[in-house]
Amino acid sequence: MDAVELKEYIFTNNQIEQILESVGCHSISSSVKEIRCGLPEHRNKTSVVIKKTETLKGKIYKSEDAIVSGDIITIVMDIASLSFPNALKYIHGVLGIEYKKVAKKVEKATPSPLDIFKKIKRRSKKVDISEIEICNEDILMEYTPNLTRQWLNEGIVSFTAREFNIGFDYTSQRIIIVHKSWRTGDAVGVIGRTIRDATFMQLFDIPKYLAVKPYPKSLNVYGLFENYQYIQEAGYCIVYESEKSVLKRHSRLDKTGVAICGHTLSDEQVRILIGLDVDIILAYDSDISIDHIKNECEKFRGIRNISYIINQFGLLGEKESPADKHDKIFKVLFNRRIKYLK
């Protein structure tokens, strides 16, 4: 199960307390609306709180100035010092559920408590995540872990390149972008971005992007695996078009971004973002029309708080992303984002 499905299972089967006990929490007490308990080796009996809602939001009150916000998965990550995929594996083990890296999405015959997802328009073809295959590790070994001077000059730093497995292919002169499954962190796609200039590309008919290992990107959200915990803590997710925007903001210690690799959200991408139970902020490139942006916002209306960033003050150049600007301009645009109200 992915994070959304796992939380649904925990909620439906009333297994919050079992998970908290497994990580050493004590003095567990349950009320109608929430469950409270104490952290391992701490005296405070109410420092951890989990809301009894479908998305299992919660907080850890470590001190007056140190509060960790998120959901039951990020709380397990914090208490047990686990990464996102290892927390998923751990919870599966506690619940006695087999953890599969890639599995078909099974339609349930019984009604789901997550009725909110019924508001999402379904495509005629049933979504099947088994269409995503894990990359052979030999493919990734062909590329050199390296950050080009070009991207370094644009503000992408080495710790971001390492975390997102950015590499370089000297033969094709392409920056290698690894796409990881947001569910497991496994590499599922490899994209090559040329460093050649526009004149050279046009002269020799070289595409800017080349799918070295293609996969159905509409079934995934780039950067969510790496940024899941920080998105939960912040309470919002910024949706960009390109991977590069996610990398630029991450390099500025803003780990709330994801990319849909285009400017039209698929049904599955909408489902994934809704399942985060955070505010959604669209930050598409400046050349995307306001009508299109509003159509994208409509996919979340009545389900999640949705807003968008546009080039209100002429601060963005043609086809620029808000992430292309330095922090001062980005914050102006972010703080003036527009709430979608129809």
Write out pLDDT tens, residues 294-306. Answer: 999 999 999 999 9
Residue 124 lies in a domain: no
- Answer with the one of 200, 218, 236 that is the final residue of a domain: 218
User: Which residue segment(s) compose the domain that 185 sits in?
Assistant: 136-218
3 in Cβ contact with 275 (< 8 Å): yes
- Answer with the one of 174, 196, 218 that is the final residue of a domain: 218
CA distance 41 to 43: 7
Domain match, 71 and 83 both: yes
pLDDT of residue 59: 93
Domain match, 331 and 234 both: yes
**Torsion angle, alpha carbons of 191, 193, 194, 197, to 10:** 160
CA distance 243 to 157: 14
Residue 224 lies in a domain: yes
Residue 210 lies in a domain: yes
pLDDT of residue 117: 41
Domain match, 208 and 251 both: no
321: number of CA atoms within 13 Å, CB side? 24
94 in Cβ contact with 153 (< 8 Å): no
Residue 130 lies in a domain: no
Domain match, 257 and 211 both: no
Domain match, 81 and 173 both: no
CATH value at residue 50: 3.90.580
pLDDT of residue 115: 46
Contacts of 293 (CB under 8 A, 6+ apart): 282, 284, 308, 310
Domain match, 205 and 230 both: no
Domain match, 201 and 184 both: yes
Positions of the chain with pLDDT under 50: 102-126
CATH value at residue 309: 3.40.1360.10
CA distance 72 to 3: 10
Residue 266 lies in a domain: yes
Domain match, 224 and 314 both: yes
Residue 111 lies in a domain: no
- Answer with the one of 99, 127, 149 that is the final residue of a domain: 99
pLDDT of residue 127: 54
- Output Rg (C-alpha) for the chain, integer angstroms: 21
CA distance 268 to 85: 20
Domain match, 155 and 210 both: yes
Total of domains in the chain = 3
What is the pTM (predicted TM-score) of this model? Answer: 0.82
